[in-house]
Amino acid sequence: MSSILTNNSAMVALQTLKGINKNLAMTQNEISTGKSVASAKDNSSIWAISKVMESDVAGFNAISDSLSVGESTVAVASAGAEQIVNVLEEMKELTVSGNSETADYAKIEADMAEKEAQILSIIGASQFNGVNLLATDTDGNGGTQLTILSSLDRVGSGAPTASTIDVATVDFEANLDVAGRTAITDQASAATALGEMEAFLQTAINGAAQLGASAKRVEDQNVFVGKLTDAMKSGIGALVDADMEEASARLQALQTQQQLGVQSLSIANQAPQTILSLFR
């Protein structure tokens, strides 16, 4: 039955064209934004997951900065400790030479005093951003360690928990009492000073080794956090990024469908005009 009031063919063609236009708009949006899931309405579950991961990535970027500062702080202290080891080796050499009856004790003691002052200067200068891991008070507020934010650990849907790396001070101010050493004035005092230098040297070596191990741990954690951040970014991309090759092919197909849909609607709209021939 033909009707001039109801054109079923035109309604079908119009709904088809609307569907094509909707898909075309979505495809164009994917191409312009580069994302297949740009908002919650596109895919609420995927969007929610991506946003949680994006917040974690932002957190790990901040952690990387914290690790970099911590790495530099420990590196400065480690360099200072290694330099102190070198100076103590020179002081030990002087005390060995003082165990000879022909030694010039006055000159040896003068050299020892200079190297003592050098060690104290190194201890005081081995700070980064106000933190000194060679001092008794690491931060001027009674601190005894450097706490470095190292990770965010998330289990299930719960809130993430922060993990830290704690680097304790080696406290050369208290453990290396070079200011209280025995002055070298004769062979006997040189022998006493030699024992003291050996003990100081062992303390300094142990402290430098401890700082070196901590520096390596912080460095390795920083590398891991960088790789973890890259992996999370790749995961987010796999969830929400548009496949541009697929979108390009789909765009051309939808543009062709749109042209055909417009022609179909035009044909359907012209169909009722054939009824005029019945009244001629």
Digit-coded pLDDT (tens) for 246-264: 889 999 999 999 999 899 8
Q: What is the 3-state secondary structure (H, E, C) of the chain?
A: CCCCCCCHHHHHHHHHHHHHHHHHHHHHHHHHHCECCCCCCCCHHHHHHHHHHHHHHHHHHHHHHHHHHHHHHHHHHHHHHHHHHHHHHHHHHHHHHCCCCCCCHHHHHHHHHHHHHHHHHHHHHCEECCEECCCCCCCCCCCCEEEEEEEEECCCCCCCEEEEEEEECCCHHHHCCHHHCCCCCCHHHHHHHHHHHHHHHHHHHHHHHHHHHHHHHHHHHHHHHHHHHHHHHHHHHHHHECCHHHHHHHHHHHHHHHHHHHHHHHHHHHHHHHHHHHHC
pTM for the model: 0.78
In tens, the pLDDT along 198-248 reads 999 999 999 999 999 999 999 999 999 999 999 999 999 999 988 898 889
Residues of the chain falling short of pLDDT 50: none
Q: Which CATH number fits domain 64-243: 1.20.1330.10, 3.40.980.10, 1.10.10.10, 3.30.450.20?
A: 1.20.1330.10
Q: Distance (Å, rounded) from C-alpha 61 to C-alpha 56?
A: 9
- The pLDDT value recorded for residue 1 is 65
What is the predicted pLDDT for the residue at 276?
76
pLDDT for 274 = 78
Radius of gyration of the chain (CA): 38
Q: What is the Cα–Cα distance from 40 to 51, expressed in whole angstroms? A: 10
